Amino acid sequence: MKITGKLILTLFSLFAFVCAPAIAAESLPLGSDGEITESMVSDAVCGYMLGNNELTLDEVSDAAYVYTVWNGKPHTVTDMDGRTMTFYRPIERIITTNPDNTRLLIAYGDGDLLVGSDECSVGSRCVCPMTTGDEIYCEECWDSCTAGGLNNVPQTSTRYEVNYEYMVSLKPDIIFEADFWKNRAEDMVEKVGVPVFVAGTDFNYDKMKEHLISVGNALSKDKEAEELAEFMDEKMEMITSVTDNIPEEEKPTVYFAPRGAKKGFYDAKEGRDFTRTYNIYDPMTLVGGINVAKDCADGNVNVAVEQIIAWNPDVILISCSDPEDAGVQFILDAPELQSITAVKEGRVYNVFYPHCRGRPSDINLINTIYIAKILYPDKFAHINIEAEGNEIEEAFLGVDGVYTAYSEYLKFPVEQEI
């Protein structure tokens, strides 16, 4: 009995010992209770610089950060799922689970803080250019997005599983979770023991900007987020200032097949193909395209071929992760579709794939301009899509030439006449 008591006491002590660092992270630097004042930081920093105290650079830096960036108080944020969390120390070690959040980290200059990420951010083409055959393009992008190279960041998750033990070992301060996986966020908090911030976007332009602002707020990069949102607004305004003046009856109707026509009209295995569409795709509708599927109930919907024929769109847009599989020629040649105006007039076009384990806002902004040029070639002939694309990618990834690299292997941006 005595031994059991001692054993429990020992285990309790050991538990407390192991948990001590985690508990410490739940408090402000310098042992402050509630708020760090200027005099506290000043004494700490000056004493540290003079070598007159035992404080470390980590401790005084954390204190200076909390005082300067967070006004001396803990940083409380709410994610896009309405979950609130509080940070007591600067966020310096980050894990992401999908490319949309990884991309924003890089856009805000925090790429070097990425200590773990998902397979599509670091091992696929979702952030930096790479062919479906894993051939890297624009090496500068891969090398400069994070310290040591984006493709050398440890992979902590895939499409199907999360390596929680690996995440724990990387000691993150925060995990950015995709909003389409938000149901696993609380489980992740429990298993990894750090705040999990749910954030993501879709094809609604306001949601794209909300995503930028939300992640910026979490990272205390509000200014950078505002600047990126303003940049997007400027690009959008460049198009809408023209298309907003076009009468509705002059706007073309458009059918968008974002999953291509790789297997034809419908791929039973993936549950989608040419007949998969969206009722909302702002990069198409905000620039003066009338979405024929706008009245469909779901955002992500499969429709019958007969319905597409009945809609009789003026233009058909197709995208696929590998443009070779998009099936533009298949659609143009399909006997069932020959009555459609878009097919008869040859107005079936490849556009940029709007997915990549998420909704890449950089690519969808490029699509906005690219689609505008397709729908209204005369009105936007002056726009150099390569220059615009490179500028957009530079705003997100800080590297010039990313669009040019995409063009080199996607081919359609160069070869397709629009």
Partner 1 sequence: MNMDSILKKRIIPAVILIIGLILLPVMGVSLVERDVSVLDNTATIKFSVDAEEPFSVGIVETVPEGWNFADNDNSVSSSKNVQIDRKNNQIAFFLSNEESVSYQLTGTGDGKTGFKTEWVDLLYLTPETSEGTERWITLGGNPVAEDNEHSDLDAKATPGFGIFAAVIAFIATGLALIAVNRKEA
Q: How far is CA 185 from its chain centroid?
A: 17
d(CA 359, CA 319): 13
d(CA 161, CA 331): 36
At a CB cut-off of 8 Å and minimum separation 6, what does 250 contact? none
Q: Which is nearer to partner 1, 139 or 226 (CB)?
A: 139
- Is residue 280 classed as helix, strand or coil in its secondary structure? coil
d(CA 339, CA 341): 6
- Of 266, 264, 278, which is closest to residue 326 (Cα–Cα)? 264
Q: Which is nearer to partner 1, 55 or 301 (CB)?
A: 55
Burial 168-178 (b: 16+ CB within 10 A, else e): eebbbbbbbbb
Q: How far is the CB of 152 from partner 1 (least distance, A)?
A: 6
Residues that bind partner 1 (CB under 8 A): 2-3, 6-7, 10, 13-14, 17-18, 21, 38-39, 41-43, 45-52, 55-58, 60-61, 64-65, 67-69, 90-93, 110, 112-113, 115, 139, 143, 147-149, 152, 171
Q: How far is the CB of 317 from partner 1 (least distance, A)?
A: 36
Q: Which is nearer to partner 1, 149 or 299 (CB)?
A: 149
Q: At what angle do helices 222-243 and 385-397 cross, to 10 degrees?
A: 160
Q: How far is the CB of 184 from partner 1 (least distance, A)?
A: 24
- Of 45, 36, 29, which is closest to residue 88 (Cα–Cα)? 29
Beta-ladder partners of 255: 316
Q: Which is nearer to partner 1, 69 or 381 (CB)?
A: 69
- Whether the CB-CB separation of 350 and 259 falls below 8 Å is answered with no
Q: How far is the CB of 279 from partner 1 (least distance, A)?
A: 41
Q: How far is the CB of 151 from partner 1 (least distance, A)?
A: 8
Q: Which is nearer to partner 1, 64 or 290 (CB)?
A: 64
Q: Which is nearer to partner 1, 22 or 310 (CB)?
A: 22
Q: How far is the CB of 139 from partner 1 (least distance, A)?
A: 8
Q: Which is nearer to partner 1, 144 or 158 (CB)?
A: 144
Q: How far is the CB of 210 from partner 1 (least distance, A)?
A: 24
Q: How far is the CB of 23 from partner 1 (least distance, A)?
A: 13
At a CB cut-off of 8 Å and minimum separation 6, what does 320 contact? 259, 260, 261, 262, 326, 327, 353
Give the E-state strand segments of 151-240 in sequence order. 155-157, 174-178, 196-199
Cα separations in angstroms, 209 against 96, 126, 214, 215, 231: 19, 19, 9, 10, 11
Q: How far is the CB of 293 from partner 1 (least distance, A)?
A: 44
At a CB cut-off of 8 Å and minimum separation 6, what does 81 contact? 179, 182, 185, 198
Half-sphere exposure of 190 (CA within 13 A, CB side): 5
Q: Which is nearer to partner 1, 401 or 413 (CB)?
A: 401
Q: Which is nearer to partner 1, 62 or 314 (CB)?
A: 62
